């Protein structure tokens, strides 16, 4: 028996517990203390079924906070979870991408099964850590836990993610050894792994050897052929699926529709797929609808794309993006309504308060590029800033192009500096922007900055820089770019080869152009056009026309540029009948609309033939009667044939069309003086001063070694050695002895030494550049000179005789054409 407590102690304890009855005996206070709280009771754990439901809810909603609260509750209540609850909790951490907590839980689990390892493998795969996922699989294999099909599927998915074909083949062998290859689930994982590794033969092997196939297997096979770039085979697989009774889902149809976007001639295939989509009832599916819309839009079926768009209920951002991209792609000068429709759709997205993506802005900026409207572009730019997408490289490149076309190169540079510049296409955009704005030196400087950052260029930026070299006329820089392209293997690309043809064409080296053309592995229509243009520029008219006939024999469809090259060749060769025949063929046989450049070639041909009235009538009946380019061609013909009256009328019209062009004023000024209208000539000079139009400074330049020597009119800072003048006098004496003094002004100035030198610098810079080249370059090297104004008549005559008496080839490029002087004749036929 337990000992009894004393009676007094019992009474004391009882008194402490009972409330007092006499308030006078208590210490009175206005706020008596609250009664003491009962001792806290220990929390009880929840039932296992409740934990299971809550954990499943956490995994479905990806709620990491709720999952951690449940885990904390288990610890506080001393709950001993089973392996099933442990696996569920591990799955929550993995699906919520908290791999650190998942690993801590995994390390503390007393027992692990295949589901435990599968959860961790799947978690690392979802995070993109394929190497860690495969490492977990290896540890699971070493732990001798019996792995199931989900273990191998997770490991195969990690191999597909990393492109590790070798480990994927090892896993394939392990699957076969363990007898799991008969299951469709594993077959689908094998097809996906081999497909993402680019092994289409192994994909077909796994599919054909499988004992069990399901809809996912067929869809995986179809996606494999789509991914590898064989849309024709994918279409056959789709027919095979239909005949085998396999149900087609939105994933399969969306993939094949996307693949058919790359078809050039597949109108029947597209219509067949569209009918298949409607019969299955997926024409209202957003994924399939957007893929079908994109397929039609990218292949010129704008009307079909609009019908598909109108049939989709509640289109999302992806559908709107596909429609805007289709309108932007087709919104050229001939279809301005499509461009306006793209902007209208963008406004509709804003009205619906849709969350715009970077693809939305990229497509709508492409539509704005056709408007050349700074207001529209800046409004789109403001929306980009509001959506926080100004640092996206695709959008940055589109903004650079937009401001470049608006001639706002400073804004383009500002957008370039705000872009991360992680990819080369951003650099390509800014280099192209400077080239389009005729700032070629800055374009080359940016390319040097690009290389200084140890970046690897692609064929597009190399081609852009090569175009800058061609416009500058710097053969040395172009040859260096060619050497770099050869060393880096970029010379095999067609786009680079075309740029190299262009560079050598503008440099006046027809031989190098032909060699480059012959070394291109795969010609496109631009390659053919550039070579025809090169032949025409250098006077090889018959070769140019033979090359065009070869295009027709190969059944290659020429475009507008091809016909421009042919008409240019006919213009340089004076072949009027052939030119009109090609002009008519362009309209009737190929359904191409001539632009102002085609018209200018026809006017140039009529002017060369002396048919000035026909040329003027041709202009007035065309749709380009207010374009200055076509009137300049007629003005050159009037000057050549001495039709001063018509030339004055054309010059006055040009002053109205382009009131700030100095060439129009100077041509009109000279013609007024030729007909004796001095007052009108002075009035023309007065208009130039009133309108702030300055005469363009004449410049001639020649490349000698690695230096470009520029001779500028009115600039005495460039000093020429007296030995060069002595050589010029010696050559001029031989030319005068050959041709006699036929009234050329340059011989008159030769009698006064100082005035003669000043006149040569100011008015005959091309002659000085040619003599400078003859003095410094070997006899076997062709003299190549560039000039920003038309060559004068005196220099043209002297250079013809100079090429004969000195036995040198001289190539002179002015804004109108090439002049190839050889053996006393010029390739222009004395018409420029």
Residue 760: predicted pLDDT: 64
Q: What is the pLDDT at residue 715?
A: 65
- Span of 411-420, 504-513, 732-741, 789-798 with lowest mean pLDDT: 732-741
Residue 335: its pLDDT value, please? 56
Residue 18 pLDDT > 80, yes or no? no
Q: What are phi and psi of 390, to 5 degrees?
A: -70, -15
**Residue 123: pLDDT above 80?**
yes
Task: Specify the pLDDT at position 372.
Answer: 62
Instruction: Give me the helices (H) in 127-196, please.
Output: 130-142, 149-162, 165-177, 184-196
Q: What is the pTM of this model?
A: 0.68
pLDDT tens digits, 446-468: 888 898 888 888 888 899 889 88
Query: Is the pLDDT reported for residue 31 higher than 70?
Result: no
Over range 811-816, report the average pLDDT: 84
- Residue 60: is its pLDDT beyond 50? yes
Reported as a single tens digit per residue, the pLDDT across 779-812 is 888 888 888 888 887 788 888 888 888 888 898 8
In this model, does residue 5 exceed pLDDT 50?
Answer: no
Q: Do strands 810-813 and 825-826 pair parallel, antiparallel, or not at all (unpaired)?
A: unpaired
Q: Is the pLDDT reported for residue 752 higher than 60?
A: no
Half-sphere exposure of 198 toward its Cβ, with a 13 Å CA cutoff? 4
C-alpha 441: how far from chain center: 22
Question: What CATH fold (topology level) applies to the domain 214-314?
Answer: 1.25.40
Of 112-126, 289-303, 512-526, the range with the lowest mean pLDDT is: 289-303
Q: Quick one: pLDDT at residue 22?
A: 45
Share of the chain above pLDDT 70, in %: 88
Task: State mean pLDDT over 520-539.
Answer: 88
Please state which of the ranges 62-66, 278-282, 519-523, 740-744 shows the lowest mean pLDDT. Answer: 740-744
Residue 783 CA to residue 770 CA, distance in Å, equals: 7
Q: Could you give the CA distance from residue 81 to residue 88 in angstroms, rounded to a whole number?
A: 10
Residue 566 above 90 pLDDT?
yes
For residue 508, pLDDT beyond 60: yes
Give the per-residue pLDDT at 13.
41
**299-355: per-residue pLDDT in tens?**
767 777 788 888 888 888 888 888 888 777 765 445 556 667 888 888 888 888 888
| Residue 49: pLDDT band with limits 50, 70, 90 | confident
Asked if 465 contacts 447 with a C-beta cutoff of 8 angstroms, the reply is yes
Among 27-41, 43-57, 226-240, the minimum mean pLDDT is found in 27-41
721 contacts: CB under 8 Å, gap ≥ 6: 775
- Higher pLDDT, residue 182 or 155: 155
Q: CA 174, CA 167: separation in Å to the nearest integer? A: 11
pLDDT at 28: 40
Q: Has residue 562 got a pLDDT over 90?
A: yes
pLDDT at position 582 over 90: yes
Q: Which residues does 802 contact at the CB level (< 8 Å), separation at least 6?
A: 731, 735, 770, 808, 810, 821
CA–CA gap between residue 633 and residue 131 (Å, rounded): 68
* Contact assessment for residue 571 and residue 608, using Cβ atoms and an 8 Å cutoff: yes
From 119-133, 140-154, 259-273, the region with the lowest mean pLDDT: 259-273
Beta bridge partners of 702: 709, 785
The answer to whether the beta carbons of residues 215 and 181 sit under 8 Å apart is: no
- Average pLDDT value over all residues in the chain: 81
What was the pLDDT predicted at 263?
Answer: 59
Confidence of residue 405 (pLDDT cuts 50, 70, 90): confident
pLDDT of residue 746: 59
Q: Nearest to residue 710, comparing CAs of 665, 772, 778, 791?
A: 772
Which backbone phi and psi does 667 adopt, to 5 degrees? -65, -45
The pLDDT of residue 48: 84
Rg (C-alpha) for the chain, rounded Å, is 40
Cα(747)–Cα(724) distance, integer angstroms: 17
Report yes or no: 635 and 651 within 8 Å, Cβ to Cβ. Answer: yes
Q: Please tell me which of 48-52, 385-389, 457-461, 530-534 the model is most confident about, judged by mean pLDDT.
A: 530-534
Closest CA to 548 of 533, 537, 532, 564: 532
What is the predicted pLDDT for the residue at 14? Answer: 40
List pLDDT tens digits, range 82-103. Answer: 888 888 888 888 888 888 888 8
Mean pLDDT over 394-414 rounds to 87
Predicted local distance difference test score (pLDDT) of residue 343: 82
644-677: pLDDT as tens digits: 889 889 988 888 888 888 888 888 888 888 788 8
Alpha helices in 642-791 (DSSP H): 644-657, 662-674, 678-690, 722-739, 745-749, 753-763, 765-776
Share of the chain above pLDDT 90, in %: 7
Q: Tens of pLDDT along 168-206?
A: 888 888 888 888 877 788 888 888 888 888 888 888 888
Q: Is 19 left (phi over 0), alpha (psi -120 to 50) or beta?
A: beta
Q: Is the pLDDT of residue 105 over 90?
A: no
CB 543 within 8 A of CB 566: no
When mean pLDDT is compared across 628-632, 674-678, 681-685, 755-759, the lowest value belongs to 755-759
Task: Decide if pLDDT at 748 tops 50.
Answer: yes
């Amino acid at each position: 028996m337990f000992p009894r407590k004393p009676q007094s102690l019992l009474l004391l304890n009882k008194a402490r517990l009972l409330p007092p009855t006499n308030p006078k005996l208590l210490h009175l206070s206005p706020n008596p203390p609250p009664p003491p709280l009962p001792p806290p009771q220990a929390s009880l754990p929840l039932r296992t079924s409740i934990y299971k439901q809550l954990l499943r809810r956490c995994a479905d909603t990806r709620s990491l906070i709720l999952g951690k609260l449940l885990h904390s509750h288990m610890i506080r209540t001393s709950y001993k979870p089973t392996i099933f609850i442990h696996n569920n909790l591990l799955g929550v951490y993995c699906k919520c991408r908290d791999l650190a907590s998942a690993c801590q839980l995994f390390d503390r689990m007393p027992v692990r099964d295949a589901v435990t390892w599968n959860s961790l493998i799947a978690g690392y795969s979802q995070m993109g850590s394929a190497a860690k996922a495969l490492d977990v699989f290896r540890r699971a294999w070493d732990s001798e836990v019996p792995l199931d099909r989900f273990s191998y599927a997770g490991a195969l998915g990690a191999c597909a993610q990393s492109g590790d074909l070798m480990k994927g083949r090892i896993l394939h062998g392990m699957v076969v050894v363990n007898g799991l290859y008969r299951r469709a689930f594993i077959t689908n994982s094998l097809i996906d792994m081999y497909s993402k590794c680019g092994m289409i033969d192994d994909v077909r092997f796994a599919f054909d050897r499988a004992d069990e196939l399901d809809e996912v297997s067929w869809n995986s096979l179809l996606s494999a052929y789509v991914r590898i770039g064989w849309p024709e085979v994918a279409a056959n697989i789709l027919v095979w699926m239909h005949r085998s009774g396999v149900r087609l889902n939105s994933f399969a149809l969306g993939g094949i529709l996307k693949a058919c976007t790359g078809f050039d001639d597949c109108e029947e295939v597209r219509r067949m797929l569209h009918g298949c989509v409607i019969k299955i009832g997926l024409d209202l599916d957003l994924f399939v609808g957007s893929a079908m819309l994109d397929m039609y839009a990218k292949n010129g079926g704008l009307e079909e794309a609009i019908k598909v768009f109108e049939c989709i209920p509640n289109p999302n951002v992806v559908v709107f993006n596909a429609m805007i991209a289709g309108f932007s792609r087709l919104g050229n000068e001939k279809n301005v309504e499509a461009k306006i429709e793209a902007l209208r759709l963008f406004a509709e997205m804003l009205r619906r308060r849709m969350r715009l993506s970077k693809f939305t802005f990229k497509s709508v900026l492409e539509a704005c590029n056709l408007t050349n409207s700074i207001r529209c572009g800046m409004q789109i730019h403001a929306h980009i800033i509001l959506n926080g997408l100004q640092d996206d490289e695709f959008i940055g490149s589109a903004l650079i192009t937009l401001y470049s076309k608006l001639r706002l190169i400073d804004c383009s540079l500002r957008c370039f500096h705000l872009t991360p510049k992680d990819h080369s296409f951003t650099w390509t955009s800014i280099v192209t922007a400077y080239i389009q704005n005729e700032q070629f030196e800055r374009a080359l400087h940016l390319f040097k900055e690009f290389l200084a950052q140890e970046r690897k260029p692609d064929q597009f930026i190399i081609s852009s820089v090569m175009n800058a070299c061609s416009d500058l006329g710097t053969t040395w820089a172009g040859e260096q770019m060619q050497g770099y392209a050869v060393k880096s293997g970029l010379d095999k690309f067609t786009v680079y080869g075309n740029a190299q043809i262009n560079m050598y064409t503008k440099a006046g080296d027809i031989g190098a152009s032909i060699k480059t053309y012959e070394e291109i592995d795969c010609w496109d229509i631009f390659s053919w056009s550039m070579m025809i243009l090169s032949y025409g520029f250098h006077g090889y008219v018959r070769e140019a026309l033979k090359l065009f006939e070869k295009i027709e024999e190969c059944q290659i469809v020429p475009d507008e540029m091809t016909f421009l090259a042919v008409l240019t060749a006919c213009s340089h060769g004076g072949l009027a009948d052939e030119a009109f025949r090609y002009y008519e063929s362009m309209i009737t046989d190929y359904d191409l609309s001539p632009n102002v450049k085609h018209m200018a070639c026809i006017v140039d041909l009529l002017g060369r033939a002396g048919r000035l009235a026909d040329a003027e009538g041709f202009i007035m009946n065309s749709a380009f009667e207010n374009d200055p380019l076509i009137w300049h061609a007629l003005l050159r013909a009037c000057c050549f044939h001495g039709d001063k009256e018509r030339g004055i009328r054309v010059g006055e019209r040009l002053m109205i069309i382009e009131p700030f062009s100095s060439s129009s004023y100077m041509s009109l000024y000279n013609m007024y003086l030729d007909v004796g209208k001095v007052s009108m000539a002075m009035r023309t000079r007065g208009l130039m001063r009133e309108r702030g139009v300055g005469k363009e400074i004449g410049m001639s330049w020649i490349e000698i070694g690695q230096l470009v020597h520029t001779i500028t009119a009115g600039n005495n800072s460039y000093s020429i050695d007296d030995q060069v003048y002595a050589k010029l006098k010696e050559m001029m004496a031989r030319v005068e002895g050959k041709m006699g003094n036929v009234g050329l002004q340059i011989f008159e100035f030769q009698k006064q030494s100082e005035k003669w030198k000043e006149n040569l610098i100011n008015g005959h810079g091309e002659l000085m550049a040619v003599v400078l080249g003859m003095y410094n370059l070997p006899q076997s090297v062709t003299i190549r000179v560039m000039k920003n104004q038309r060559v004068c008549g005196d220099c043209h005559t002297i250079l013809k005789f100079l090429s004969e008496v000195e036995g040198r080839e001289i190539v002179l490029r002015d804004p109108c054409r090439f002049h190839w002087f050889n053996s006393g004749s010029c390739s222009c036929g004395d018409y420029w």
